[in-house]
Amino acid sequence: MSRRPMWTCERCGRQFANRKQSHACGRHDLQRHFEGKGAEIRALFDAFAEMLSAIGPVTVLPEKSRIAFQVRMSFAQVTPKLRWLDGHFVLARRVEHPLFRKVETISARNHVHHFRLSSAEDLTLEFKAFAAEAYAVGRQEHLRNRGQAETAS
């Protein structure tokens, strides 16, 4: 499956896998998300971002109400709170697991898995495995696998 080039919004400069992707244009400051929060919340965010970067290259996108992480598509996000980070991963399958507070099914290959991180100890090997799975969704590997499966049948 060949990949289309990324589309860049002329107004805000953000790149998307899909042309004319619906979004709220804006340039937001990462530091604004940490105003009024303790240094431990910023350190937890940095540990989360470092964990994702260890999987592969990632773009950090500060938005108005959240901080998104993107490869071709956004695959994870966090919202800093006073004592924790609320966030989610996008997975191509639905996983019921104690790490996830809630799972929302958007479509057959789009499941939003909500989590809460209170400390760096929450970044377990199992959590990192889900992060890697979400990263693959961000790379749109689940779409390539679908095309291969359809070709094989």
Rounded Cα–Cα distance for residues 84 and 95 (Å): 22
pLDDT digits (tens, 9 = 90+) for 121-137: 999 999 999 999 999 99
For the domain spanning 32-152, the CATH number is: 3.90.1150
Backbone angles phi, psi at 110, to 5 degrees: -150, 95
pLDDT digits (tens, 9 = 90+) for 69-79: 999 888 999 99
Beta strands in the chain, from DSSP E residues, in sequence order = 7-8, 15-16, 59-62, 67-70, 74-80, 85-91, 102-107, 110-117
Q: Is the pLDDT of residue 113 over 70?
A: yes
Q: Is the pLDDT of residue 83 over 90?
A: yes
